[in-house]
A and B are shown apart, each in its own frame.
Chain A
């Protein structure tokens, strides 16, 4: 079981969501985040004044999937979120030891 945490462009959320749903991955958490990676922001100019845009708006999508679909999920995310330009984002994969359903207390097995 893995947690796949993806940081993508804001306008790519719907495409990533659709791609994951096609794999049967319906549950996800989407969060508005700001940050930077290699794309370290840029200088914007408004009325002759420069200001540094260091933290860029991104969306974070988190899904927990069974080990067997991790590779497909990653491929789907990368394919849906890619534009080929700097700033397309990152995908992180983390191990998940256990999950529980809060309503029933039941331990989940994916």
Chain B
């Protein structure tokens, strides 16, 4: 909420000439209507419009001698509804299109002071437009008043921006929820009965607030409710006019904002409204009889609409006891791109899609083609979000399939609808088998059986589980043909990958999974997995850990979906063992497999090289790096690395920094030296960066390539124009030895090295068997800022060289694998024990962020 000073005047403003006259004219006009018993909807709307003119007059007259942000004066609450009574507060939103500085404050004063000088009670809210990006959940009355917002003066474009920001399903749902709470609280004040002898015509059950609530609920959920309710809309209008006429009389008679129809005022009101009767009591009884009749109509209508209104969950979507419904069915019928949102809403709300919504989709699905479902990037992103494995995904996909929309969204899926493939094992049609694979994955994500928890943990570790679901959805579409269905599935899925706008990396992963979806079961169940060569070959097929995890889960889900009996504990065990052996090969054994000079002459890399890179630049850079490097990075990344590595001299550091996803990726190329890795990771920590993933590699010439992916929680890089240059300068100074990282970190020690309870018991495992060339340190610990710096510093302090590092973070666990040597050889047993002990002590003794 904008914090502004409206209390003092630079120069007292007198009301612009003529304002008191305009106001008095408007009031006189209204008073004349009221005494005739006509102070209802029409008269109050006219009075409100008079006020609109007054405000436009004030804004036009405001001095504009300096540049000022766009402003819009918006009527809200009762004034917004044009139900402004004689002594009602004037509820206003004064909206600015930019930052509220001194010029804007001066303009604000020029608007408000004339109103105050006129003796009006102004309920004003001042906001910058950007403040509507966040919902003011702690101010429900204000949010409700905004439902009646109406532009009065100023910038109409700015008002439209406000409307766009305010009116979305999340806000609507919140307002309806808050409104229901306030209704209950208000009713409690009146003992929940409309039969009050001296009713408050604004607040009591069955009066004006209830009518407003009815209109709000309809506006925020389903406007057709007003037509469908138990009471005719005309009767509600009549009740409203009746109550407003009474309220106007109360204001006139009491000369203030009073709303209670007391006994004395009942007589006066009955007289003004012209109720017949020889005695006052007769007239009052007739008045009150009408009052209770109207109040009953209003309470019935409110009760019905509260029970019936769907809870807004997305544009044109609401939740009812029947499930997710389309609010406007005609609109939904012609907007297939919104259908997926109905299924997403059901997943989010953990309910069904209503039969009515499914029937609508079933009726219209045939009319649309695939491009109608994913017209924009936002729709493509929504699909990937929808495919994240979680509770309800299988049920929703099955509903989509049942009502014919799955095959329209994903045409290749139509080829396997009810497809029967006869073999000894499969128990279901190909389409149902496919959906069951996703059900199996969903079960791992939500309620894994104890013997599946290890696979469930793999699913939790996946960076993009939705890609796995996408791969499962397409893995068997090629089964419409009888031979080599995996290759056919990849071919058929190409068009969908284009439409979904997958990145090169995403597409490569999904294609890999579909093409090789049988590979892991063939190796696990039919090959001798105790043979290291079998594991090595399989590891070289999958390449990196993320693909291994995905393929393992895909295999598990696929085998389990063949029949209830197919995935025996015996098979699950074989699969798990192959996973572990391959994982260990990928993470522990990769240091022994280097890019040899002939492999460095990778023809594809050389053939596609940019003009500024020579063949020898590329070959020289690659030779001696682990082969894994070629699987970790795509061609463009490799070329960037080659450029960074050219012409590098001792003590120089060449750097690249780019945004990647929600974080950043720093590439460091330099020549090896003691404490290098800990210095670099220490510099990142000194800037508050949390390192999540990364690789460090060294070639035989001492060239070091480190790639760190990190998050910038303090938004140092985003908020400071020269942040990148500053970070590069510090890295340069620290790596070249001109500055000390310890000194830099000292300033952060207070905030970084805080103690906290251990969430993960640290594990340090030192292995001399897994690699021919390296001792391997496997470290699992609580993720914390600076952890990598402290671990690597201990390793260097023990006289060891860090040659290769794999950095991973899964949940709150840091999983780091270091390939180290001491004096060019593996560590002796004594050295291993000593280093492990030092690391264990560091991690357990303090387990501070570092």
Q: Is the CB of B573 within 8 A of A57?
A: yes
Please tell me which stretch of A18-26, A46-54, A68-76, A89-97 contacts chain B, meaning at least 4 of its Cβ atoms lie within 8 angstroms of it.
A46-54
> CA–CA, A49 to B763, complex, Å?
7
Q: How far is the CA of A94 from the CA of B441 in the complex (A)?
A: 44
- In the bound complex, residues from chain A placing their C-beta under 8 Å from that of B527 are 11
A48 to B840, CA, bound (A): 13
Given A11-B528, A14-B526, A53-B577: A32 in contact with B767 (beta carbons within 8 A): no
Residue of A nearest to B568 (CB): A32
Which residue from B526, B568, B570, B815 sits with its C-beta under 8 Å from A47? B815
* In the assembled complex, B530 has its CB within 8 A of some CB on chain A: yes
Complex formed: what's the CA distance from A33 to B571 in Å?
10
CB-defined contacts of B765 to chain A, threshold 8 Å:
45, 48-50
Nearest CB on B from A84, distance (A) = 12
Distance A21 CA – B658 CA, assembled complex (angstroms): 63
Chain A positions 20 through 44: 1 when the CB is less than 8 Å from some CB of chain B, otherwise 0? 0000000000001110000000001
A2 interface hit (Cβ, 8 Å): no
Give the complex CA separation of A44 and B530 in angstroms.
Answer: 12
Does A48 lie within 8 Å of B763, measured CB to CB?
Answer: yes
B563 CB to closest chain A CB, in angstroms? 15
Chain B residues within an 8 Å CB radius of A33: 570
- Asked if B689 is an interface residue, CB under 8 A from chain A, the answer is no
Cβ B574 vs Cβ A57 within 8 A: yes
- Cβ of B590 under 8 Å from chain A: no
Is the Cβ of A44 less than 8 Å from the Cβ of B528?
A: no
Bound complex: CA of A49 vs CA of B779, how far in Å? 10
Is B570 a contact partner of A57 (Cβ separation < 8 A)?
yes
**List of A residues within 8 angstroms of B526 by Cβ:** 10-11, 14
Minimum CB–CB distance for A46 against chain B, Å: 5
Given contacts A34-B570, A53-B577, contact A45 B528 (CB under 8 A): no
CA distance A53 to B574 in the complex (A): 11
In the complex, chain B residues whose CB is within 8 Å of the CB of A83: 528
For the complex, is A106 an interface residue (Cβ under 8 Å from B)?
A: no
Instruction: State in angstroms the CA–CA spacing of A47 and B530 once bound together.
Output: 19
A60 to B584, CA, bound (A): 29
User: In the complex, A32→B568 CA distance in Å?
Assistant: 9
Q: Is the CB of A45 within 8 A of B767?
A: yes
**CB neighbours of A108 from chain B (8 A):** none
Decide: A9 and B528 in contact? CB cutoff 8 A: yes
Chain A residues, Cβ within 8 Å of B568:
32
CB closest chain-A residue, reference B530: A87
> A53 to B518, alpha carbons, bound, how many Å?
25
* B297 smallest CB distance to A (angstroms): 69
Nearest Cβ in chain A — how far from B162, in angstroms? 52
Most buried by B among A11, A14, A32, A49: A11
Per-residue CB contact flags for chain B residues 550-583 toward chain A (1 = under 8 Å, else 0) read: 0000000000000000001011011001001101
What separation, in Å, do the CA atoms of A44 and B580 have in the docked complex?
8
B759-783 interface (Cβ within 8 A of A): 763-765, 767, 778-780
A-facing mask of B808-823, CB < 8 A → 1, else 0? 0000000100000000
- List A contacts of B116 (CB < 8 A): none
Does any Cβ of A come within 8 Å of B633's Cβ? no
Q: A46-B583, A49-B763, A87-B530 are in contact. Are A10 and B525 (CB under 8 A)?
A: yes
Number of A-B contacts (CB under 8 A): 50
Q: Mark B515-538, 1 if CB is under 8 A from A, else 0.
A: 000000000011111100000000
- Tell me, rounded to whole Å, the shortest Cβ–Cβ distance linking A83 to chain B: 7
Q: State how many residues of chain A have any CB contact under 8 Å with chain B.
A: 20
- Nearest A residue to B525 via CB reads A10
Give the complex CA separation of A32 and B566 in angstroms.
12
Shortest distance from the beta carbon of B832 to any chain A beta carbon, whole Å: 14
Q: Give, as a whole number of angstroms, the nearest-CB distance from A6 to chain B.
A: 16
- How many angstroms between the C-alpha atoms of A11 and B764 in the bound complex? 35
Determine the chain B residues whose CB is within 8 A of the CB of A57 once the complex forms. 570, 573-574, 577
- A9, A10, A45: the one contacting B584 at CB < 8 Å is A45
Instruction: Please give the distance in Å from B464's CB to the nearest CB on chain A.
Output: 21
Cβ–Cβ contact B577 & A48, under 8 A: no
Contact assessment for A46 and B528 in the assembled complex, using a CB-CB cutoff below 8 Å: no
In the complex formed, the residue of A with least CB distance to B767 is A45
Give which listed residue, A10, A45, A48, A87, contacts B779 with CB less than 8 A. Answer: A48
State which of A12, A14, A44, A45 has its C-beta within 8 Å of the C-beta of B577: A44
Residues from chain B with Cβ under 8 Å of A53 in the complex: 577
Q: Are A47 and B525 in contact (CB under 8 A)?
A: no
Chain B's nearest CB lies how many Å from the CB of A108?
26
Q: Within the complex, which residue of B573, B584, B763 is in contact with A34, where a contact is CB–CB below 8 Å?
A: B573
CA distance A70 to B779 in the complex (A): 54
Q: How far apart are the CA atoms of A50 and B779 in the complex, in Å?
A: 13
**What's the Cα separation between A45 and B779 when bound, in Å?**
12
Complex contacts, A34 vs chain B, CB 8 Å: 570, 573
Taking the closest CB of chain A, its distance from the CB of B525, in whole angstroms, is 6
In the complex, chain B residues 387-435 whose Cβ is within 8 Å of any chain A Cβ: none
With A10-B525, A34-B570, A57-B573 as contacts: A48 and B764 at CB distance below 8 Å? yes
How far is A99 from B764 in the complex, measured between Cα atoms in Å? Answer: 59
Closest chain-B Cβ to A69's Cβ sits at a distance in Å of 28
User: What chain B residues lie within 8 Å of A87 (beta carbons)?
Assistant: 530
Q: Are B570 and A32 touching (Cβ within 8 A)?
A: yes
Minimum CB–CB distance for A3 against chain B, Å? 22
Chain A positions within 8 Å of B767 at CB level: 45
Complex Cα–Cα for A83 and B571 (A) = 22
Q: How far is the CB of A75 from chain B (nearest CB, A)?
A: 21
Known: A11-B528, A44-B580. A32 touches B778 (CB 8 A): no
Residues in A whose Cβ lies below 8 Å from that of B779: 48
A46 touches B525 (CB 8 A): no
- What residue in chain B is nearest A14 (Cβ atoms)? B526
Residue of A nearest to B573 (CB): A57
Residue of A nearest to B763 (CB): A48
Q: Are A85 and B530 in contact (CB under 8 A)?
A: yes
- Note all chain B residues with C-beta closer than 8 A to A44: 577, 580-581
B452, chain A: closest CB distance, angstroms: 16
Q: Which of A45, A46, A48 has the most chain B CB atoms inside 10 A of its CB?
A: A48
In contact, B528 and A47 (Cβ under 8 angstroms) = no
CB-defined contacts of B763 to chain A, threshold 8 Å: 47-49
CB neighbors of A among B91-109 (8 A): none
Bound-complex Cα distance A57 to B571 (A): 8
List the A side residues contacting B764 at CB < 8 Å. Answer: 48
CA distance A47 to B780 in the complex (A): 7
A48 pairs with B574, CB closer than 8 A:
no
A49 to B580, CA, bound (A): 11
Q: Which residue of A lies closest to B580 (CB)?
A: A46
One of B525, B528, B580, B778 near A48 (C-beta < 8 A): B778
B766: nearest residue on chain A (CB-CB)? A48
- From the candidates B571, B577, B580, B780, name the one contacting A32 in the complex (CB within 8 A): B571
Question: In the complex the two chains form, what is the Cα distance from A34 to B529 in whole Å?
Answer: 15
- Residues of B within 8 Å of A10, CB to CB, are 525-526, 574
With a cutoff of 8 Å between Cβ atoms, the chain A residues found around residue B571 in the complex are 32
Distance in Å from the Cβ of A45 to the closest Cβ of chain B?
Answer: 7
Partner of B778, one of A11, A14, A47, A85: A47
Closest CB in chain B relative to A44 CB, distance in Å? 6
A50 to B780, CA, bound (A): 13
Give the Cβ gap from A8 to chain B, nearest Cβ, in Å: 11
The chain B residue sitting closest to A85, CB to CB, is: B530
Q: Most A CB atoms within 10 A — which of B580, B581, B780? A: B580
**Which residues in A have some Cβ–Cβ distance to B below 8 Å?**
9-12, 14, 32-34, 44-50, 53, 57, 83, 85, 87
Closest 6 CB pairs of A and B: A48-B765, A48-B778, A32-B570, A48-B763, A11-B528, A46-B580
Some 19 contacts from A to B, beta carbons below 8 A apart, are: A9-B530, A10-B525, A10-B574, A11-B525, A11-B526, A11-B527, A11-B528, A12-B528, A14-B526, A34-B573, A44-B577, A45-B765, A46-B583, A46-B584, A47-B815, A48-B765, A48-B778, A49-B780, A57-B570
Other A-B pairs, 13, CB within 8 Å; known A11-B528, A47-B815: A9-B530, A10-B526, A11-B526, A33-B570, A34-B570, A34-B573, A44-B581, A47-B780, A48-B763, A48-B764, A48-B779, A49-B763, A57-B577
